[in-house]
Structure 1
Amino acid sequence: MTAHPLPTWTARVVVLDIEGTTSAAGFVQGDLYDYARPRLRPWIESHADDPAIADAVVAIRAEGGLAETADLDAVLAVLHGWMDSDVKATPLKTIQGQIWAAGFAAGELSSHFFDDVVPRLREWHGRGVRLAVFSSGSVASQVPWFRHADAGDLTPMIDAYFDTVSAGSKREAGSYEKIASALGVPAGEALFLTDLPAELDAARAAGWQVIGVRREGEPNYAADFGDHTVVDSFAEIHVEPEADVRAEDVAEDRA
């Protein structure tokens, strides 16, 4: 993608998008959606007393333009429509996340990562760079996604997970300000990787460092990334922690 070597990025934390960035969007919109779709009705019915599901159903009626008393058939019609259009609706992500988590736990699902991703995550983690996730998918689905990778359990490398419930919209600068605060790092020492230009804009507006990930065959490959730095592989990204973080690691090693 780049005609010359990229610089080394200095950051305390790298925050990762998932779909289209670390993992193929087609896997999520294909295998995972196909798994969730027939399970929506029985899951909602059997978890009616779960506050998260109850709140999601209320939100679906409101966001889907339904009456407050709309029945489950109408709710499911909204959910199916959102899935068909790949709408990043928080209540849909909440329900899907629970269904997927159960599927991962049962061994019926496994996650997907591009070949260049896991080696880089291990390298950055080994250098003392913290790793976190910010995805439109619920935290309930993010954790098993990293736990059930072909390369093994990746969760020991991940410090924190954020979704649109815990942090807010991925297209608003305030969400990134909230994440930086939660992680306890200055905005300028956080680096965000995503395939969506609007998310890059929002993170940069919050003072973050950003890199666009443009992968051939992914939905946003032809997107306009403007003046953002863009790569087509994590292998192009070189990250080092802040100098004082490296010093702390050396001190710990000598102790």
Structure 2
Amino acid sequence: MPTPTQFVLTDIEGTTTSISFVYDTLFPYFKQHAVAYAQSHLAEPEVHEALSQIADTLSQELAKPITTEEAIKFLTHWTSADRKDTPLKTLQGIVWRDGYAQGALKGHLYPEVASVLKRWHSQGIGLGIYSSGSVEAQKLLFGHTASGNLTPLFSHYFDTRIGHKRETASYHNIAQEIGIAPQAILFLSDVEAELEAAANAGFQVTQILRTGTISSKRFPTAGGLDEISLG
């Protein structure tokens, strides 16, 4: 008998949200505003700390000292390269927070996502997010959707601080943090390598097939969250 699902952990890009929203809306917004925002908010602790970490990484990579002011010049390049460095993701979340607050950004969700998440929550299923984007960015997206603020539905948010998404150890860490046996957690993603890492940790997994997703030959698939039947 399969273990009943007690918790659903979901990816964002390509799963609940169009990848094009990230690459065609969020990233361009950050690249347009990052330098000016960083320069004008450099004295703020969270901005200064993230830039200091980026400067440290650059100093090692370039084998020469890099100041926080100089690090600002690399923000656009790192974003274009889609680097997964945690301090960059932190800064992106900060700049996007400002954009959401101004009404310049609105979080995209596929049509069925909000209603299914609400139904699962009402049924007592725990919900969590695991994305390469920062926890800040995750909460902003789900806090500013066309269906309203959905953040109260989620009990847990995870980003690269818990580990990278293609590493099995990350999912062991997540299960421990949630406090539920891996076999009772369902992980949703469009990326087969992420599903493999989660499955190796004992998670239930399902690949969400959106337009352009290459269907897995190894794991269960669904065309949307509304096609998933929780055991």
Say whether the fold is shared (TM-score over 0.5): yes
Indicate yes or no: 2:116 matched with 1:125. Answer: no
Larger Rg: 1
Q: 1:101: how far off?
A: 1.4
Select which of 24, 29, 48 maps to 1:30: 24
Select which of 146, 170, 174 maps to 2:169: 174
In structure 2, what is the Cα distance between the partners aligned to 1:74 and 1:225? 43
Instruction: State TM-score, norm by structure 1.
Output: 0.81
**Any gaps of 5 or more consecutive residues in structure 1?**
1-7, 241-255
In structure 2, what is the Cα distance between the partners aligned to 1:27 and 1:127? 30
Instruction: State TM-score, norm by structure 2.
Output: 0.89
Residue matched to 2:202: 207
Q: Superposition RMSD on alpha carbons, in Å?
A: 2.1
Residue matched to 1:81: 77
Indicate yes or no: 2:216 matched with 1:225. Answer: yes
Q: Please list every run of at least 4 consecutive aligned residues from structure 1 whose deviation after the TM superposition is greater than 4 angstroms.
A: 71-74
In structure 1, what is the Cα distance between the partners aligned to 2:217 and 2:84? 23
Q: 1:68: how far off?
A: 5.3
Alpha-carbon spacing, 1:68–1:39, altered in 2? closer, same or farther (3 Å): farther
- The amino acid of 1:230's aligned partner reads T
Residue matched to 2:8: 14
Deviations 1:152-210, CA, capped at 9 Å, x for gaps: 11111111111112x11111111111111111101111111011111111111111111
In structure 2, what is the Cα distance between the partners aligned to 1:122 and 1:50? 36
Q: 1:48: how far off?
A: 2.8
In structure 1, what is the Cα distance between the partners aligned to 2:104 and 2:84? 24
Instruction: State the percentage of identical aligned residues.
Output: 36
**Any gaps of 5 or more consecutive residues in structure 2?**
none
- The amino acid of 2:174's aligned partner reads I
Select which of 130, 135, 155 maps to 1:134: 130
Q: 1:120: how far off?
A: 1.2
- For this pair of structures, how many residues does the alignment match? 228
- The amino acid of 1:115's aligned partner reads P
- The amino acid of 2:51's aligned partner reads V
Select which of 131, 138, 160 maps to 1:164: 160
Q: 1:21: how far off?
A: 0.6
Residue matched to 1:115: 111
Residue matched to 1:185: 180
* Contact 2:52/2:68, CA 8 A, preserved across alignment: no
* Contact 1:10/1:189, CA 8 A, preserved across alignment: yes
In structure 1, what is the Cα distance between the partners aligned to 2:57 and 2:8? 33
Indicate yes or no: 2:227 matched with 1:236. Answer: yes
